[in-house]
């Protein structure tokens, strides 16, 4: 397995469908929440080849400028490129384009987690949440 380093990247193409859109006036356009999801999925894809079994990642920060609309039926190409690796912290540069122009740029940060430890934390939180409901 190769070592994760700056320059690792992935790309995802998404054809914008009705479920990815919001309505503005008479137009269906790619929504910002759907854009953020695409950005995150692309960063996850970039990490996949570098994570051993039992490891995954969680998003901790995203800073994105959604600068241009994309219409229903257009295709968005998102690219996530690793710019920094600091132990378990990984920072990405993110770019998204449609057939006409750049629609978004930004950065995204993820932390690599051990799934067993993370699962134990979630189980503890589920118990605490259930206890809070009973108060």
Catalytic hit among 11, 22, 32, 102: 32
Kindly compute the dihedral angle of the four CA atoms of residues 112, 6, 59, 36, in this order, to the nearest 10 degrees.
Answer: -150
32 is catalytic: yes
DSSP state of 68: S
66 is catalytic: yes
- Residue 31 has φ and ψ, to the nearest 5°, of -85, 155
Catalytic hit among 34, 42, 66, 81: 66
3-state SS assignment for residue 31: coil
- Strands in the chain per DSSP E: 9-15, 21-24, 27-30, 55-66, 75-86, 89-97, 102-114
> What residues act catalytically?
32, 40, 66
């Amino acid at each position: 397995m190769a070592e994760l380093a700056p320059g690792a990247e992935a790309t995802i193409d998404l054809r914008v469908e009705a479920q990815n859109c919001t309505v503005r006036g008479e137009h269906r356009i790619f929504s910002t929440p759907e854009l953020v999801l695409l950005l995150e999925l692309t960063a996850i894809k970039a990490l996949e080849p570098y994570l051993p079994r039992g490891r995954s990642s969680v998003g901790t920060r995203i800073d994105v400028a959604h600068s241009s609309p994309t219409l229903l039926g257009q295709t968005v190409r998102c690219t996530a490129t690793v710019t920094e690796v600091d132990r378990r912290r990984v920072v990405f540069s993110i770019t998204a384009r449609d057939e006409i122009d750049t629609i978004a740029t930004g950065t995204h940060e993820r932390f690599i987690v051990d799934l067993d430890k993370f699962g134990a934390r979630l189980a503890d939180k589920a118990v605490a949440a259930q206890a809070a409901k009973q108060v």
